[in-house]
Amino acid sequence: MKFAIQINEGPYQHQAVDSAYQFAKAALDKGHEIFRVFFYHDGVNTATRLAVPPQDDRNLTKLWAELAEQHNLDMVVCVAAAQRRGMADEDEMKRNGKDANNIHPAFRISGLGQLIEAGIAADRLMVFGD
């Protein structure tokens, strides 16, 4: 089965990012495909390369990045949600006249069209968080 995953909540405020990660990992281990992971609303905070969780806590950005590398996952951060939260990749940084970027390289910024495409291409769209 081909899944698309949408994550709507922040990584340390809600269980959604953890649950989505565990779901994705289990689905991939069972031989299923993940077409795309779309980070939306506060879920975009998962993509920051600047977070430094305590040593005894999980690093969700790192976990998602490793999973993406192992399985060639397309991990998309909603551009509008990211901009509202002060997040930018290199292109958005330049386009908006900012002096820094903070998106982890395993993630990419794009628009809601990527979520629509994922919903059409996948057999199931799994939504984690409100």
The residue among 46, 48, 49 whose CA lies nearest residue 60 is 46
Question: Which residues are bridge partners to 128 per DSSP?
Answer: 7
Active site residue 78: yes
Secondary structure (3-state) at 7? strand
Quick one: CA dihedral 52, 89, 44, 6, positive or negative? negative
Q: One of 78, 79, 103, 109 is an active-site residue; which one?
A: 78
Q: Which residues are catalytic?
A: 78
